């Protein structure tokens, strides 16, 4: 390890030998120095009404938010007030079958970091990342309908449809700066989009297969699948676009086995491709590639107080990949290999003293 004090002394004694840029220094430091505050004031009222097999839960929430963010060079502020009504319904078809519905109004605040008016400049690559203190909160009107059937043993079968109307959704935009100090640089900045609609179907099955004979009764199955379609307005493009960040297909399948003190779970997770950053046209969009991953977890309860465990992630070494517009134009490809850990866990440290 270099001695910090000696390194600083050497630098001070040989300042003329170092190439220093005050602009580079300010660009690096200013983006990391800021003050930010956010205050949220909220209140709500709700009640539950039962009409035989039908239960209705209406309510309303009020929120006021004020925030302020600044750096050495720039500052910004914003505030907003929202009234968020909602109502959920549950109708019992029988003792193990429900129909659920909900109509709600909700909001999603910008990421805290995105509100900071920072500028991260990479002169070598002519790239700049910008914050946006003028981001508006995203609001949504949501309609959900769900059917669920509980098994007599452990498990549930469910299926539903959903619809969302979004306003001022937030996405990451990529564009070229046309003027100023960084004219010609590629800028990446979070911005508000227009209106967007989102609709889809979700299916799920969670079941312990206790009806199987003998040792097979320890098997369990967990699976869900969601299909989502969307129509989003993007500045400069109009409507008919996929909602940034939204994958059309997502799925999870897991097979478990629990018997005695042994437990294991093999899981497969999938999400389809999605728009990560919106370019000036569709050919310039940064796309996150579809991803599939297998994970394994196992444990054995040796005795009352000690458990052995094993966890392995990404068994098939899948790629973390992005491309620009089309898969023939890869932009980022990363492999992290499979990794995991094995060890022992004290599940009841006092068990040793109770013997």
Concatenated DSSP letters of 59-83:
EEEEEEEEEEEE-SS-EEEEEEEEE
The answer to whether the CB of 115 falls within 8 A of the CB of 136 is no
Nearest to 275 by CA among 246, 249, 232: 246
What is the Cα Rg of the chain in Å? 27
Residue 349 pLDDT greater than 80, yes or no: no
pLDDT of residue 69: 43
Residue 66 pLDDT greater than 90, yes or no: no
pLDDT of residue 310: 96
Binning pLDDT at 50, 70 and 90, where does residue 293 land? very high
The answer to whether the CB of 119 falls within 8 A of the CB of 128 is yes
Residue where the block lists tokens 């109502």: 87
d(CA 256, CA 218): 8
d(CA 134, CA 128): 18
d(CA 180, CA 187): 13
pLDDT of residue 28: 62
pLDDT of residue 75: 58
Residue 71: CB atoms within 10 A of its CB come to 21
d(CA 15, CA 158): 69
d(CA 242, CA 197): 10
User: What percent of the chain has pLDDT above 70?
Assistant: 89
d(CA 169, CA 139): 8
Q: Which tens digit of pLDDT belongs to each residue from 203-224? A: 999 999 988 898 898 999 999 9
Helix (H, G, I), strand (E, B) or coil at 1: coil
Q: What is the pTM of this model?
A: 0.76
Q: Which distant-in-sequence residues (6+ apart) come within 8 Å of 78 by Cβ?
A: 66, 67, 115, 133, 134, 135, 136
Phi, psi values for residue 4, rounded to 5°? -55, -45
Q: Which tens digit of pLDDT belongs to each residue from 141-191? A: 999 999 999 998 889 999 999 999 999 999 998 888 888 778 888 899 999
The answer to whether the CB of 144 falls within 8 A of the CB of 87 is no
Q: What is the mean pLDDT of the chain?
A: 87
How many helices (H) and strands (E) would you count in the chain? 2, 23
In the chain, alpha helices (H): 4-13, 22-30
d(CA 190, CA 23): 25
Binning pLDDT at 50, 70 and 90, where does residue 114 land? confident
**pLDDT-wise least confident of 203-217, 321-335, 338-352:** 338-352
**pLDDT-wise least confident of 74-83, 217-226, 242-251, 289-298:** 74-83
CA angle 232, 236, 241 (to 5 degrees): 25
Domain residue ranges of the chain, discontinuous segments joined by +: 4-353
Binning pLDDT at 50, 70 and 90, where does residue 71 land? very low
d(CA 289, CA 274): 7
Q: What superfamily would CATH give domain 4-353?
A: TonB-dependent receptor, beta-barrel domain (2.40.170.20)
Phi, psi values for residue 12, rounded to 5°? -65, -35
Helix (H, G, I), strand (E, B) or coil at 15: helix
The answer to whether the CB of 105 falls within 8 A of the CB of 95 is no
Residue 70 pLDDT greater than 60, yes or no: no
The answer to whether the CB of 336 falls within 8 A of the CB of 329 is no
d(CA 253, CA 348): 31
Longest CA span, the chain: 86
pLDDT of residue 199: 96
Averaged pLDDT for residues 225-245? 91
């Amino acid at each position: 390890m270099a001695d910090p004090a000696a390194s600083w002394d050497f630098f001070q004694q040989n300042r003329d030998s170092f190439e220093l840029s005050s602009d580079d220094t300010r660009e690096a430091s200013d983006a990391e120095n800021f003050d930010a505050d956010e205050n949220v004031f909220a209140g709500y009222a709700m009640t539950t009404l039962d009409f035989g097999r039908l239960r209705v839960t209406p309510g309303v929430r009020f929120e006021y938010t004020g925030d302020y963010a600044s750096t050495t060079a720039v500052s910004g502020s914003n505030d907003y007030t929202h009234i968020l009504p909602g109502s959920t319904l549950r109708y019992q078809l029988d003792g193990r079958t429900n129909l659920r519905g909900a109509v709600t109004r909700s909001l999603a605040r910008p990421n805290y970091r995105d509100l900071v008016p920072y500028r991260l400049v990479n002169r070598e690559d002519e790239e700049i990342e910008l914050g946006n203190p003028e981001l508006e909160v995203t609001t949504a009107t949501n309609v959900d309908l769900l059917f669920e059937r509980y098994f007599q043993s452990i498990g549930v079968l469910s299926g539903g449809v959903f619809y969302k109307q979004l306003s001022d959704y937030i996405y990451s935009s990529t564009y070229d700066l046309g003027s100023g100090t960084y004219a010609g640089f590629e800028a990446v900045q979070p911005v508000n989009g227009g209106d967007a609609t989102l609709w889809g179907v979700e299916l799920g099955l969670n079941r312990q297969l206790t009806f199987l004979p003998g040792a097979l009764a320890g098997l369990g199955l967990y699976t869900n699948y969601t299909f989502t379609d969307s129509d989003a307005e993007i500045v400069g493009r109009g409507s008919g676009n996929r909602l940034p960040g939204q994958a059309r297909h997502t799925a999870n399948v897991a097979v478990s086995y629990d018997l005695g003190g042994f437990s294991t779970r093999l899981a497969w997770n999938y999400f389809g491709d999605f728009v990560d950053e919106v370019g000036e046209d569709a050919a310039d969009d940064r796309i996150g590639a579809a991803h599939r991953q297998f994970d394994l977890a196992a444990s054995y309860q040796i005795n009352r107080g000690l458990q052995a465990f094993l966890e392995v992630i990404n068994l098939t070494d899948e790629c973390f990949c992005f491309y620009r517009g089309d898969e023939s134009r890869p932009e980022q490809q990363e492999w992290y290999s499979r990794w995991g850990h094995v060890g022992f866990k004290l599940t009841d440290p006092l068990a040793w003293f109770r013997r």
